[in-house]
Amino acid sequence: MLRLLAATTLAMGLLAAPVLAQDAKDTLTIDLPNDAATLDPHLQWDTDSYTIYRNIFDNLVTRDAAGEIVPQIATKWSYENDTTLDFDIRDDVTFHDGSKLTADDVAFSINRIIDPALKSPQFSQFSPIDKAEAVSPTKVRITTKSPYPAMLAQLVKLSIVPKAYLEKVGDQGFNAKPVGSGPYKLVDHQQGVRTDLEANADYWRGKPPFAHVTFRAVPDVSTRIADLKTGQADLVRDVPPDQAISLKDDPSVQILSVATERVGYMYMNAQSGPTKDARVRQAIAYAIDQQGLIDALLQGYGKPVNIIGAPPVFGYTDAVEGYAYDPDKARELVKEAGAEGAKIEFLTSPSYNRALVEALQQMINDAGLDTEITSTDQATFLKRRQGDPANAGSVAIGRWSCACQDADGIIYPLFRTGSTWAKYSNPDFDAAVDAARSTLDEAERLKDYKTAYEILRTDVPGIGLYQDFAVYGANPHLTWQPTPNESMFVMDMAWKN
């Protein structure tokens, strides 16, 4: 069926290519593995969602190509003391509905995320903030509960929403028809199919490079590649390594890749099911041939990591050992736990490499467990992973990035007690990550993170697998340089002359 679909897509693409070529200067078409789970930037942080909505909204601050934090809506900032940070805000920015962006909107955006009633998946990354307030129409003051060293790094992903409009239409209405101040406006969103944007002619940074941008949900990778080769797509995300290698010499395609701050990892449910037993979790860790996976399936587009973190991230350490591949030890631990033949549910979605999932499944089964794969759409996958432990599966792989390059944005939301992602709780771990986010002393923070990573190694609520490479396929006439924080800003793209 998939072959027939790909062949049909190819044939349709060949017929459509001449028409698309005429429109290429005006329309950019991007194929993603999934549709956006939401277009409300405060309600989700999965890759496909923010790939789309980050082009609709502006952020308070951002990172440049070198990874440095630079102004966006904020023009400058300064610490008044260890817990008070003031931002000056641009006075020449308007939202898509014509209303003026002011400090009230910035303060509202921050306070909305830290309101527990919203249940934002980003809550834990902003929860050290006590309040945000507009000091004047162009000045915002953020007060934290204690010194918060990762504040600026986390604010990189703060999208500014219009207070008046959101309060008028409500959360659901805003998700259906989001209004931002970014370079593109929403035209139409067909759930599970496509999202159409048009250029914001009044954008404060200048004219956007394309009049129209279309994001399409294309779960099947062979179809994404066929779309790219026939001109139906100009950019596709998440090209598997084997496909990237085979396409490198194809003149109709350019492969773009970059080592990222994202880490491929395996989550293990420490609060429900067979993996509630630490010996079973340790067995799974010993069962995984990390280097074998990287060599066979990533083919140069990944590097091994010993912890859940990557070298670009503050707090990453190589002083904490990973788990060696030891299948005999894995089987011994499974037997010791009385878990031989225990059912292990492996949650996944089309966002993750199927061959990698199946290889991991086999390795876990070789340890004496019975692993079944449950694949759903990304929105359902996220809902289960963020839900109660009894429905969160036994294991799942993820590719985590906080776009903040700080361990506070990785192991805190993944494992801190009370996080929507955490299916694990340890007071000693909580104390270590709480201490690391409560001091501006970098040496103390590094010490605290080492302690936290040592606890994670013992308890094994998850393990690091590899430093992820972002791999894209692009029209050879498209100019774009991917960045380590995976900022897929259309404003940074252009057609070659």
Convert the pLDDT of each residue in 66-80 to its tens digit: 778 999 999 999 999
- What is the C-alpha separation between 83 and 132, in angstroms, rounded? 12
Residue with tokens 């009044």: 202
pLDDT surpassing 50 at residue 41:
yes
Whether 159 and 249 map to the same domain: the answer is no
Could you tell me the pLDDT band of residue 483, with boundaries at 50, 70 and 90? Answer: confident
Q: State whether 393 and 308 are in the same domain.
A: yes
Model confidence at 373, in pLDDT bands (50, 70, 90)? very high
Can you give the residue range of the structural domain that contains 281?
261-468
- Give the phi and the psi of residue 411 in degrees, each rounded to 5: -75, -20
* Best CA proximity match to 104, nearest among 76, 72, 136, 80: 136
C-beta of residue 134 within 8 angstroms of C-beta of residue 104: yes
The pLDDT value recorded for residue 5 is 36
What is the per-residue pLDDT across 429-453, written as a single tens digit (0 to 9) for each?
999 999 998 888 999 999 999 999 9
The residue-averaged pLDDT of 369-373 equals 98
One domain for residues 304 and 386: yes
- Checking if the pLDDT of 1 tops 80, the result is no
Residues 317 and 439 in one domain: yes
Please name which of 215, 210, 256, 254 lies closest in space to residue 233, comparing C-alpha atoms: 215
Q: Are residues 387 and 276 in the same domain?
A: yes
CB neighbours of residue 450 within 10 Å: 17
**In 412-448, which positions are buried (b, 16+ CB within 10 angstroms) versus exposed (e)?**
bbbbbeebbbbbbbbeebbebbebbbbbeeeeebbeb
306-339 residue pLDDT tens: 999 988 889 999 999 999 999 999 999 999 999 9
> Residue 50 CB: number of other CB atoms within 10 A?
23
Statement: residue 118 has pLDDT above 90: yes
User: Which residues are CB-neighbours of 390 under 8 A, at least 6 positions away?
Assistant: 272
Which CATH number do you get for residue 240? 3.40.190.10
> Are 139 and 121 in a shared domain?
yes
Report how far apart the first and last C-alpha atoms of the chain are (Å, whole number): 40
pLDDT of residue 10: 37
Structural domain total, the chain: 3
Q: What pLDDT is attached to residue 456?
A: 98
Of residues 323, 284, 258, the one with CA closest to residue 467: 258
Residues 210 and 156 in one domain: no
Confidence (pLDDT) at 20: 39
DSSP structure class, residue 127: T
Give yes or no: residues 226 and 340 share one domain: no
Flag whether pLDDT at 277 surpasses 70.
yes
CATH number, residue 462: 3.10.105.10
pLDDT at 47: 84
Task: Return mean pLDDT, the chain.
Answer: 91
The DSSP line for 204-251 is TT---S-SEEEEEE---HHHHHHHHHHTS-SEEE---HHHHHHHTT-T
pLDDT at 405: 85
**φ/ψ of residue 483, rounded to 5:** -120, 160
pLDDT above 70 coverage of the chain, percent: 95
Instruction: Using the predicted structure, report yes or no on whether residue 39 has a pLDDT greater than 70.
Output: yes
Mean pLDDT of 404-412: 90
pLDDT at 18: 36
Same domain? For 78 and 161 the reply is yes
- pLDDT score recorded for residue 101: 98
* Whether residue 232 sits in one domain with residue 208: yes
pLDDT tens track for 50-105: 899 999 999 999 988 777 899 999 999 999 999 999 999 999 999 999 999 999 99
Residue 16 has pLDDT above 70, yes or no: no
Which pLDDT band, with edges at 50, 70 and 90, does 6 fall under?
A: very low
Q: Assess whether pLDDT exceeds 90 at residue 9.
A: no
The per-residue pLDDT for range 119-154, each reduced to its tens digit, is 898 888 899 999 999 999 999 999 999 999 989 988
State the DSSP string of 12-24.
Answer: HHHHHHHHHHHHT
Identify the top-confidence range among 142-156, 267-281, 482-496.
Answer: 267-281
pLDDT at 345 over 70: yes
Q: What are the pLDDT digits (tens) for 241-251?
A: 889 999 989 99
In this predicted model, what pLDDT tens digit does every residue of 172-222 receive, in sequence order? 999 999 999 999 999 999 999 999 999 999 999 999 999 999 999 999 999
**CATH code, 155:** 3.90.76.10
> In the predicted model, is pLDDT for residue 15 greater than 50?
no
346 and 273 part of one domain = yes
Residue that is last in its domain, among 128, 143, 167: 167
Distance CA 472, CA 255 (A): 6
Clarify whether residues 304 and 410 are in a common domain: yes
Whether pLDDT at 262 is above 50: yes
Q: How many CB atoms lie within 10 A of CB 291?
A: 11
Lowest average pLDDT, out of 43-52, 99-108, 488-497, goes to 43-52
Q: Grade residue 4 by pLDDT with cuts at 50, 70 and 90.
A: very low
SS3 label, residue 92: coil
